[in-house]
Amino acid sequence: MLLLVEAGPGMREITLFHAQQAVEKWLKALMVYHGQKPLRTHDLLLLLNAVLSTEPELKGFAKSLQHLNPFAVGGRYPGRQGPPSLRDTRSMVNTTAKIRDVILTKVTRRTQQRRKETT
């Protein structure tokens, strides 16, 4: 994603659309992992709130997700709100990577732990 960010202002909105989609899928995957039915929404804050009971440490991402939320739909129609700044785009892409890393680490650790317990 960082390559797209550096490609110029015209690529920032679509990059953030894909970042929003990635976070949405990661949060929904976490819901499934915990046995929850994923919500049918693009709203990252609703999805985050749905996983906070099992993953309270993700609460720290709320403000960043609030900034990423508008790109769920806005990114499909570039130019509607003007391109985000390079700094904001980089920040939101970095947040996406951090959320991915946190969720992957948690699920991987827990899965390995469960396997050890069953063998």
**Residue that has been written with the tokens 């039915």 in this structure:** 37
Architecture of domain 2-118: Up-down Bundle (1.20)
Task: Enumerate the domain spans of the chain.
Answer: 2-118
Question: What confidence tier does 42 reach under pLDDT thresholds 50, 70, 90?
Answer: very high
Predicted TM-score of the model (pTM): 0.87
**Residue 11: its pLDDT value, please?**
86
**Residue 41: its pLDDT value, please?**
96
**Residue 51: its pLDDT value, please?**
97
Token duo for residue 25: 């899928």
**Residue that has been written with the tokens 């953030």 in this structure:** 16
Residues 47-104 pLDDT 10s: 999 999 999 999 999 999 999 999 988 655 655 667 789 999 999 999 999 999 999 9
CB 48 within 8 Å of CB 58? yes
